[in-house]
Amino acid sequence: MTAPRAGRPATTRWRLAGIGLLAAGVAAALYVAGRLVQPDYTFSLFGADPFPAKSLLATIALALAGAQVLLALWMYRQLPLPGPPRRVPLAHRLTGAAAFAVTVPVAVHCLIAYGVQLSSARVAIHSAAGCFFYGAFAAKVLAVHSRRLPGWVLPLAGGTLAVVVGVLWYTSALWYYNGYQLPHL
């Protein structure tokens, strides 16, 4: 009876390694593409001044990421609320899809107009976090669809995404809303 279970930890490690490698590959590919691209500062999906629209979309993504965290906590009964209605998992999926969707035009603009730059700490952190976001998103999608992973994987993947959205918002939208400077903590 123990023979079939003997292979499970190794299989789980391989699944986790595969998900991690894919996530790292997506992030690395975006980083390399961003470093190779010749920035076109005249490119804009958002008109002459892209910062207001990009900041608004980033703020929407942050709000949706917050909703994602709350819905996930409710789904997994980690909030002091009654069990979630059946529509909560659907709402979680829809807010996740919407959060991802609002990041795409911002990312396309950033990649084409600026590429990945390392000119200052804020810009370097923002560039790296942007690349990491899409790798972490790929990892979360794979983790959601794999039923054979430890229970801590999905909350870690989702929490990581929420934190990265917060970092991206802090280094971009908040920077813009605060007069092109980061607030002192």
Cα–Cα dist 127/115, whole Å: 8
Average pLDDT of every residue of the chain: 92
Cα–Cα dist 26/138, whole Å: 8
Cα–Cα dist 107/126, whole Å: 11
In tens, the pLDDT along 98-147 reads 999 999 999 999 999 999 999 999 999 999 999 999 999 999 999 988 87
Q: What are phi and psi of 86, to 5 degrees?
A: -60, -25
What is the DSSP-derived secondary structure letter of residue 37?
A: S
Residue 114's nearest CA partner among 100, 99, 103, 130 is: 130
Type of residue numbered 78: Q
In tens, the pLDDT along 109-123 reads 999 999 999 999 999
Report whether pLDDT(2) > 50. no
Cα–Cα dist 77/71, whole Å: 10
> What's the pLDDT at 10?
78
Crossing angle of helices 87-113/50-75, nearest 10°? 150
Cα–Cα dist 137/158, whole Å: 8
CB neighbours (10 Å) of residue 83? 9
CA atoms within 13 A on the CB side of 43: 15
CB neighbours (10 Å) of residue 155? 15
> What's the pLDDT at 6?
44
